Structure 1
Amino acid sequence: MNHIKLSFIVLIFSVFIFSSCKDESINVPKNTVESTAAQSSIKALKSHFNQDGTLRDGENPANNIIFDFCFDFVYPITLSYNTGSEVTIQDFNGLIAVLINMSDDLYINGIAFPFQVEVFNDATNSFEVVSIQNEESFMDLLENCSIDDDGNEEDCVCTEEYAPVCVQVMDSSGESFTIGFPNMCVAECEGFTQDDVVDCDYSNPADGDYFDDCFDMIYPFSVVNADGETIQINDEDDFEAVIYANYYFDFVYPITVDSEVNGEEGTIVVNNEEELATLLMQCDDEDDDCNCTDVYEPVCVLNPENGETITFDNECEAICEGFTPNNFVDCNTSGGNNCDISNLSVFIGDCISTTAYSISLDFDISNYDGDTFNVTFDGTTTYSYAIVDLPITIDLDINPNNATGWLLVSTPDNTCEEDINWNVPNCE
């Protein structure tokens, strides 16, 4: 989750896409050059996908290539294999086809300069297109993305709790729109803060995970992406691939859906954006099952009708009742001990050796008067640290029998605790 500084999952891309003649290898006079940056970036991007083209669990929490990876290529681009063959990639699906067909004997090690990439600029809160003129500028891009020469990325680890938040950004033409993240931790990992949070915009189809619980799309239909390109969607795989590769798009109306709003199933023709927004809001109002966890991380909101403070067990439950993080206020804890550990995150650092790596641990703690906290690793070893030293860097050994790291943060009196896990990096 790196960047210069949508919530769907890509399933299996169709065989037709992978066998498209757009991206065939050809032996022509070379216009590519060997590039360490190209090899590193393609290797890093490959780690986000399974061998069948599906997204890897835990590697794509934002479900958008620019936020989960760091940048997206502006197509077409020309890459070269270690065998000397070149391949011209026409679109995102063509790049995925290259990624899943790579092996130890066949891999990308070159690219044709110049080319362009799309990134998110924290300073301007907007997506921008950047030109990469040579190997030096490509390496600078990867350094800003925290991608090393071996294709390893600096990761930010969040829980899988679904408590969606939205932020407002701008596209490369200056048009503002909102995008959604599954929870505040993921948004913070992408560089956003509580001050950036806005009400989610139901009119943006890529804004939040509403479709699966509300209605089923009837195929085929078409969408128009941010570049003005009309794309025909023939099935669910096509739709989810488009959502992952495009941070914004519009439907070509009318569209037809199978709706389950108000407990009744039926076919509805949606004629415009306003009707879609209305349908989504009706569905959201009828959804009493927000799939919140039982974690006690209390948040409080101010009731605008009577000025009273309402306490919810966690952020997800508050959002399910129609509140947003902008409505949150400090909880009055005079009635008891409500120690709370929140925003627990683990950033994967550098490999120290082939058998060890470092992590950076950080979190917020409230309603707690102590000066120290405990960290238990893998359920066995516990160490004590000073809260004032946060964030802290910890060196960890790699257990070859465990691909997942785990730790528990707790107070010495055990009044509150929170755990987190992450994928152990490959340091070989």
Structure 2
Amino acid sequence: MKILKSAFLSILFVAFCLTSCTNDEPVIEQQSIEESLAITASLSQLSLQFNSQGDIETSANPAGNIVFDFCFDFVYPLNLSYNTGTTVTVNSLEGLVQILINSNQDLFINGIAFPFNVEAFDDDSDSIVVVTINNEDEFINLLEDCDFDNEFECECTEEYNPVCVEITAPNGETFLITYQNACYAECDGFTEADFSNNCEGDYNWSGGNECFTYNFPLTITTDNDETITVNSQEELNTALYNSYYFDFVYSFDVTLADGTLLTIGNEEALIELLEGCFGDDDDDDDDDDDDCGCDEEFAPVCVQVIEDGVTVVSVFTNACVALCEGFTEADFVTCEDNNNPNNCSEQEVLAYLVQCEWYINTSLYENVAPEYIEFNQDGTLEVYNEGTDVTVQGSWDLASNPNAGDVFMFFNIGAPYATVSQLDWTVTQCSEGFIILESGNEFIQLERDCDNNNNPGDCSEEDVAGLLVECQYWSVIINNQEYEYVFGSDGTVTVSINDDSIASGTWSTYTNGVGDAVVSINTNSDNFNSDWTFLSCSDDNIIISSSANWMSNIESGCP
């Protein structure tokens, strides 16, 4: 690894054409400061790293760090003198840059107080070390080792394939330097053996990245505990030019490559995003679709399996995804016959949605999609991503056309999911565990996840059995006609209309494959047979779904 090299004497005799003083510079009393050709030469070279506004030149700083892009960093404060004999104390790189960009022919820096310290890279230990410069000769030797006048330049492409190296800071903390590609790293003397596998630990790359951009302003805390607000990527790069590590003040927003706005709430969320940028899916065991090479074609297939003696139908986005899960084409069943598409009532959709969390797959977002959504009975919702720990609040509503049997869904959600709110959605597939919404060519696929279900209305078989008997009669709409079911404690059931009994039979309870309590009703007429799934048993909100698509609006006689 090169940072300090040889041959620099020629630049020492560059004309003293640098570094002006402004009226607000902190001037101190006259000190014993020596004239120095080396300070003039080093400031002349350092000025090439910055533009006229004082921001670093990205093309001249592939590492984004002064030690690697320049050669060394002064340890501040630094006492300098102008050609007029006036001395000035510089407390930071920012202050030194202000001196550089305000230079003229009449007033310039020509002296420095010895000894002073610099921070430079030590190839043997892969660390930043502090070096004391005691006099002009040692300063000149330092500049000779930097080899500023070497005419050799690396010719690297602009390919974005980042690599990073791990370095130890003077305080013993490790940090990462990220290069746009291996060529730039190799130009600084690193080899593949030096490359690190955890580039997501570097939060800023001066050359930017192809995954997302920061939304400014944002606030950072540097490694010297200085809190800074920056208003652009250029300001961020400059503020971090001589910092080895830093942290953000959360939360802040980023814009993804597809234009999606994402709020980053904490460090874990940022690391998750960066891992995705670097294609780190070593721990992503859940991304089976990508592992199988399945595309996002929306052509649902259904698979019927028996779980604990209960028939369960699972729906997959397309055949490839189902095959990836280990099923075969012989396991496929007709979705229309098993999931009753377009036959869910508004009440049933409501009952399904409020019971559990729902995992989302949608055609609207290519790179980062909302992971889970929780629908609340009061019409509010929360969309969140477990990886980024970002939650977006919103609301939802349902409407229906009873004559056509259509159920419609509407959203009001803020960024980055606002696109969902701009479309009207129709329920096209509906079951207890799977709902599909479509709007033109776009779709939202909802798959129920009850693992973290904290719904206080969850029902046990005992709860359901008690409700059936306690509430005496239950009204049901069948073909636009209201019928009454009366359940006996002895397991019998009668069905009547206008107080006339027209069917009788038995009832029993069981728990289905996703943990719902179900009442199985068997009478001497198939028209009244059904499995009722109790999705909520709370006193003020009993929600029931029927397996018979001709039944709707099941309501209890309890007050």
Q: What's the TM-score, normalizing by structure 2? A: 0.43
* Segment drifting more, 276-285 vs 117-126: 276-285
- C-alpha contact 2:117 2:133 (8 A) present in aligned 1: yes
User: 1:244 corresponds to which residue?
Assistant: 241
Distance 1:212 1:20 in 2: 43
Q: Is the 8 A contact 1:31 1:112 kept in 2?
A: yes
| Pairwise CA distance, 1:51 | 2.9
Could you tell me which amino acid in structure 1 is paired with residue 54 of structure 2? G
Residue 229 of structure 1 deviates from its aligned partner by 1.8
Distance 1:186 1:61 in 2: 7
| Aligned partner of 1:185 among 172, 175, 183 | 183
Structure-2 residue corresponding to 1:24? 26
Residue 159 in structure 1 maps to residue 141 in structure 2: no
CA distance in 2, matches of 1:61, 1:267: 27
Paired position in structure 2 for 1:124 = 125
Give 1:97's aligned residue.
98
User: Hey, what's the Cα distance between the residues in 1 that align with 2:32 and 2:96?
Assistant: 18
Go from structure 1 to structure 2 and tell me whether the alpha carbon gap of 1:50 and 1:234 turns closer, same or farther (over 3 Å shift): closer
User: Is 2:120–2:128's contact at 8 Å kept on the other side of the alignment?
Assistant: yes
Q: Distance in 2 between matches of 1:277 and 1:19?
A: 42
Amino acid at match of 1:277: I
**How many residues get paired?**
265
8 A contact 2:2–2:189 mirrored in 1: no
Identity %: 37
Shift of 1:179: 1.6
Structure of greater Rg: 2
Offset at residue 194 of structure 1 (A): 1.8
Q: Secondary structure at the match of 2:253?
A: strand
Alignment of 1:28-43 (within 5 A): 28-43=29-44
Structure 2 counterparts to residues 211-222 of structure 1, below 5 A: 213-222=211-220
1:102 CA drift (Å) = 1.6
Deviation string 1:180-218 (CA, Å, 9 cap, x unpaired) is 112222212222112111224213213575667414234
Measured in 2, the distance between the counterparts of 1:208 and 1:49 equals 13
Amino acid at match of 2:99: V
Residue 46 of structure 1 aligns to a residue whose secondary structure is helix
Corresponding residue of 2:229: 233
Q: Report the Cα distance in structure 2 between the residues aligned to 1:269 and 1:52, rounded to whole angstroms.
A: 30
Counterpart of 2:263 in structure 1: which amino acid?
Answer: I
Please report how far the alpha carbon of residue 2 of structure 1 lies from its aligned counterpart in structure 2 after TM superposition.
6.2
* Contact 2:216–2:230 (8 Å) recurs in 1: no
Equivalent residue, structure 2, for 1:265:
260
- Please name the residue that 1:299 is paired with: none
Q: 1:165 to 1:238 in 2, by over 3 A?
A: same
Q: Distance in 1 between matches of 2:167 and 2:144?
A: 24
Contact 1:75 1:89 in 2 (8 A): yes
Q: How much is the aligned-residue C-alpha RMSD, in angstroms?
A: 3.0
Whether the 8 Å CA contact 1:217–1:258 is kept in 2: the answer is yes
- In structure 2, the residue corresponding to 1:47 is in which secondary structure? helix
Q: Secondary structure at the match of 2:241?
A: helix
Offset at residue 257 of structure 1 (A): 0.8
- Cross-structure match for 1:86: 87
User: What are the within-5 Å matches in structure 2 for residues 134-145 of structure 1?
Assistant: 134-145=135-146
> Is residue 164–residue 176 contact of structure 2 (8 Å, CA) maintained in 1?
yes
Quick check: 1:178–1:207 contact (8 Å CA) kept in 2?
no
Higher relative contact order (CA 8 A, sep 6+): 1
Q: Offset at 1:283? A: 4.6
1:10-409 equivalences in 2 (<5 Å)? 21=24, 23-26=25-28, 28-56=29-57, 58-147=59-148, 152=149, 155-162=152-159, 163-206=161-204, 213-225=211-223, 228-236=224-232, 237-252=234-249, 254-260=250-256, 263=258, 265-271=260-266, 273-283=267-277
Contact 1:167 1:198 in 2 (8 A): yes
Task: Give the 3 Å change call, closer, same or farther, for CA 235–78 of structure 1 in structure 2.
Answer: same
* TM-score (normalizing by structure 1): 0.55
153-162 vs 185-194, which moves further: 153-162
Superposed displacement of residue 259, structure 1: 3.5
> Unpaired segments of 5 or more residues in structure 2?
6-20, 281-290, 293-559
CA distance 1:234–1:209, change in 2 (3 Å): closer
Unaligned runs of 5+ in 1: 6-17, 287-303, 306-428
Where does structure 1 differ by over 6 angstroms across 4 or more consecutive aligned residues? none
